[in-house]
Amino acid sequence: MVNPFRGFSAVFYKETLHVRRDFATLFFSLIIPILQMFLLGFGIDTNIRQINTVVYNADGRRESRELLDRLRNSDTFRLLRYVNNDKDLNDAIISGKCRVGIKIPVDYSDKLLHQMSAQVLVLIDGSDSSVAGQAINVTTAIGLDESLRRVLVNDATFAVDMRPKILFNPDSRSPNFFLPGLTAVLLLNVTTFLTAFSIVREKERGTLEQLFVTPVRPMGLLLGKLLPYLVIGFFELSMIVTAMRFIFSVPIHGNVFLLAFLSLPYIFVSLSLGILISSKATTQAQAMQLAFLTILPSIFFSGYIFPRETMPKFFFVLSYFVPATYFINITRGIILRGAGWTHLWTDALALFLMGTLLLVIAARRFHNKVIMA
């Protein structure tokens, strides 16, 4: 009877020795994700606040100063400079010192007093679209609010009163948004990279060739190689989740064990990707490039940084083929929205199917291109 997993324990034994011996690689593969986590957790705030703003107040009277106070109090603008002519206003924006320029005309107060429409010029540097968008929204809202205040008589209420309530992540904290998604990218990092490297390294050194002439079966070989990295991946995941909860105070609304369980199909996909890469690459440098090819879509097309809904149709469809898309939905679902199995089983299924397909392709490629070459 041929045992299809022949050689598994031997390969596992050897692979754990490699991991232990090559402590530097292990250390960096664990510490770099944590560093990334700190950078993204502390360093990046997607909420746009305190935009540098230059003001040319040609009016200077009470009404104009009130308007500026309202802009300042919105927390969106930081009134950095005051200038006295159009040229300086323009220069401040062109030089990049300010993103927004506000010009209040000489007759601003007069027009308001005479119930006429007063115009305020808002110049916006469009080179960063999210900053520009935020500046437009806030200035428009302040203009509207200011107008209504003047039109409505004392106790009148709005005819339509919108009451937005943010359900999850009510403070719109960036770590709450970034860190659950980050777990997907970091796990991919550990599992795909490390497994691909560990196989390609044996190709480079010729030890793989030697192994094929022993009774080791391909499944025994691959599983023996993958399992140590699966353990490392799991360790990494728990480290990230712990740091997320206790250092970045991201509340976890759902079940942590469900998260751990649902990370299995994702890790499965990542490991299969690693094998696929190793069946193609002959050097570690090549493996590195191919691995980056898998990392980039996971960052850009998974909804990790940019919302998928705003993507052009083509990329939106593409995002369905990126495993991280599903896992990010799982992590954000469990951590932020308290989602359960009933909400997430389709994502898990999608990952499982992807992993199976990839493993079949990878195993076939491995058999044809590596063993029989």
Q: Which residues bind other proteins (CB under 8 A)?
A: 2, 6-7, 9-11, 13-14, 17-18, 21-22, 205-207, 209-217, 371-372
**At closest approach, how far in Å is the CB of 218 from other proteins?**
11
Contact 192, 273 (CB under 8 A): yes
CB of 119 or CB of 283, closer to other proteins: 283
What does residue 223 show for φ and ψ, rounded to 5 degrees? -65, -40
HSE-up of 305 (CA within 13 Å, CB side)? 11
CB of 6 or CB of 253, closer to other proteins: 6
CB of 17 or CB of 39, closer to other proteins: 17
Q: How many other C-beta atoms are found inside a 10 Å radius of the C-beta of residue 247? A: 15
Angle at 35 between CA 32 and CA 41, to 5 degrees: 140
CB of 26 or CB of 258, closer to other proteins: 26
**At closest approach, how far in Å is the CB of 352 from other proteins?**
31
Task: Round to whole Å and give the CA distance between 65 and 85.
Answer: 17
CB of 126 or CB of 215, closer to other proteins: 215
Contact 61, 110 (CB under 8 A): no
Query: Which tokens is 210 given?
Result: 């030697």
**At closest approach, how far in Å is the CB of 304 from other proteins?**
35
Task: Round to whole Å and give the CA distance between 237 and 233.
Answer: 6
Specify which residues 121 forms β-bridges with: 103
Q: Which of 68, 49, 47 is nearest to 57 (CA)?
A: 68
161: left (phi over 0), alpha (psi -120 to 50) or beta: beta
**At closest approach, how far in Å is the CB of 18 from other proteins?**
6
Contact 177, 304 (CB under 8 A): no
**At closest approach, how far in Å is the CB of 6 from other proteins?**
8
CA-CA distances (angstroms) from residue 161 to 81, 158, 164, 337? 36, 6, 10, 27
**At closest approach, how far in Å is the CB of 217 from other proteins?**
8
**At closest approach, how far in Å is the CB of 205 from other proteins?**
7
Helix/strand/coil for 121? strand
CB of 23 or CB of 246, closer to other proteins: 23
- For β-strands 51-57 and 100-104, DSSP reports them as parallel
CB of 3 or CB of 47, closer to other proteins: 3
